[in-house]
Amino acid sequence: MKKSAGAADRSSTNKGTMPPATAPSEAGWYEKLYHMLLGSIPFSLLLIDRALRVVSANRNFLEKAQRSEGNTIGALIREVFPSAILEYTRLEVKVRGVFDTGLPLRGAQMTYRAPGIPTRIYYYTVVPVKSGNVVEHAMLLMDDITEKVQLSEKARMVERQLSSVVESANDLMVSTDAEGRIISWNAAAERISGYRADEVLGWLLTDLCEAAQRNDMAAIIRRLAAGEAVKFQELNLAARSGRLVPVDWSCSPIRDDSGKVSGVVAVGRDLSERRAFEEHLYQSEKVAALGVMAGGIAHELRNPLSVSFSAAQFLLDPSRDRAFQQECVRKCIDGIQRASTIIENLLRFARPAPTDQLESLNLVALVHEAVNVLAPQAKLQKIKVCEDYADPFLPISGNANLLQQVVMNLILNACQAMPAGGEIRIVIRREAAEAVVRVCDTGYGIPPSHLGKVFDPFFTTQPVGKGTGLGLSICYTIVKQHGGVIDVDSVEGEGSTFTARLPLAADRRVAER
């Protein structure tokens, strides 16, 4: 019985404990594991007892604080941390509070600054370490967030700079989500539209466009959300006052980390001042053109009227013989006819023929007929006329007399550029949906300074009495009336090429001429 009782006592004594042979090695293994864990934790860690002395400190803390284990373990925390940090954070009071309440302290920031040590910023917590219900130690965990804070500060600085740029910009700068709802609205947008940012947040950007153009803005946002590129587009912004503001919009997608479009940035330039300037410039050009035209009319009419006036004065003298009087009458008639021709050309320039006079025409036949009329005159001036028609039929819709006048004016203009003879080449081609007529000469060409003026009314380089300066202006007006364009290329000393482009008729039935 004693033997069994002794066995029972030993069994009771060792219950829940390690066997004597293995206990020291297991204790050493746990202690080693503890130190390994402390060394590998990426935080600074201090274990503090109730007397506020440091019981344990990991390598992370010792390295960053540049302290040794000997002068840290057993030291009071007031000896470990600078007094300024303790006063600012009231760390001692907070650690005592953890011992008193048994509750952890979370979420506080500490700036650790000591002589010879770069400033570090920590986010620290104090956790109670309990044995049963008794708090035996407090564990101070400090996470080094220096880089995070610096990065966050840089991000905030960049954000402030961008915000300053956006707010100081003269252009509208608007950001929306992927559906086009407004997220930001800068000061320029407030000034131009009359709407405050807090009013429009959450509105659809399309709702602030002119009603007739809202679908266009919605299409832009849809295309951007689908990842497509969108070029500049001019759309009117409907201001609070009801005024429509012309805005040139440039839109770009905002992408998240995965590359998905999460929003849109729209930059809009107010074109109101530009439009006003263009209108002012246009009015100035019209006034200038009117001045040139008035001067041209006065100059061209003065010559024949002066001749007619002088001839009429001679007719009042009865002593003049009959032959002289008849010559004076002819001068009067010629002067009146010349003045009438100038006025007729001016009216033709100002008032093109009505569209109800347009008919189906074969452009090739029409041009060939005009060439035949002027070919004898060109031959007398030692000018060779060459015709190059790739297609015998090019249907157009137009007024035959007016279009023949264009061709004849261009041929006569070419003849005037070759007083010593040369060559005129007339080429007709089909290019896409257009009929193209080119009149090329080998004359003296047009100076670069004059190229932009050749179609202006009353602009001419001919001597006084040799031309009215309305021929090319009339050509320009007639071609434009027919839905076409006319331009000129020239090399001074080599010749010029006038090119008229007219739309081909949809109806291929051509009147035979």
Q: At residue 157, does pLDDT exceed 60? A: yes
Last residue in a domain, options 325, 350, 375 = 350
Provide the pairing of β-strand 383-389 with 359-362.
unpaired
Amino acid identity of residue 60, one-letter, is N
- Between helices 400-416 and 471-481, what is the axis angle to 10°? 150
Question: Which parts of 169-262 fold into alpha helices (H)?
Answer: 187-193, 197-200, 214-225
For 106-110, 248-252, 302-306, 360-364, which range has the lowest pLDDT when averaged over its residues?
106-110
CATH number at residue 411: 3.30.565.10
365 and 480 housed in the same domain: yes
Q: What is the pLDDT of residues 318-347, one digit of tens each?
A: 877 888 888 888 888 888 887 887 777 666
Provide, rounded to the nearest whole percent, the portion of the chain with pLDDT above 70. Answer: 78
46 and 118 housed in the same domain: yes
Residue 195: predicted pLDDT = 93
Q: Using an 8 Å Cβ cutoff, are 81 and 91 in contact? A: yes
When mean pLDDT is compared over 49-63, 351-365, 469-483, the highest value belongs to: 49-63
Q: Using an 8 Å Cβ cutoff, are 472 and 452 in contact? A: no
361 and 498 housed in the same domain: yes
Look at the chain and report how many structural domains it folds into.
4
Average predicted confidence (pLDDT) for the chain: 80
Residue 276: predicted pLDDT = 83
91 and 215 housed in the same domain: no
Q: At residue 464, does pLDDT exceed 50? A: no
Residues 6+ apart with CB under 8 A from 210: 235, 236, 237, 238, 244
331 and 361 housed in the same domain: no
- Rounded CA-CA distance 47/411 in Å is 106
265 and 320 housed in the same domain: no
- Residue 6 inside a domain? The answer is no
41 and 140 housed in the same domain: yes
Q: Using an 8 Å Cβ cutoff, are 78 and 91 in contact? A: no
Parent domain of 293: 276-350
- Rounded CA-CA distance 499/429 in Å is 11
The residue written with tokens 């006034």 in the block is 287
Q: At residue 353, does pLDDT exceed 60? A: no
Residue 159: predicted pLDDT = 66
418 and 324 housed in the same domain: no
Residue 74: predicted pLDDT = 92
The residue ranking higher by pLDDT, 510 or 257, is 257
For residue 347, what are its two tokens? 């009216």
Q: pTM score, two decimals?
A: 0.41
421 and 442 housed in the same domain: yes
Handedness of CA 402, 408, 411, 415 (dihedral sign): negative
297 and 256 housed in the same domain: no
Closest by CA to 433, choosing from 476, 394, 489, 389, is 394
For 38-47, 113-122, 254-263, 370-379, which range has the lowest pLDDT when averaged over its residues?
113-122
125 and 261 housed in the same domain: no
Q: Using an 8 Å Cβ cutoff, are 473 and 323 in contact? A: no
- Residue 2 inside a domain? The answer is no
- Residue 223 inside a domain? The answer is yes
Q: At residue 283, does pLDDT exceed 90? A: no
- Residue 13 inside a domain? The answer is no
DSSP labels for 349-396?
HHSPPPGGG-EEEEHHHHHHHHHHHHHHHHHHTTEEEEEEES-S--EE
488 and 374 housed in the same domain: yes
- Residue 396 inside a domain? The answer is yes
Dihedral (C-alpha) 110, 113, 114, 115: value to the nearest 10 degrees? Answer: 180
- Residue 79 inside a domain? The answer is yes
CATH number at residue 265: 3.30.450.20
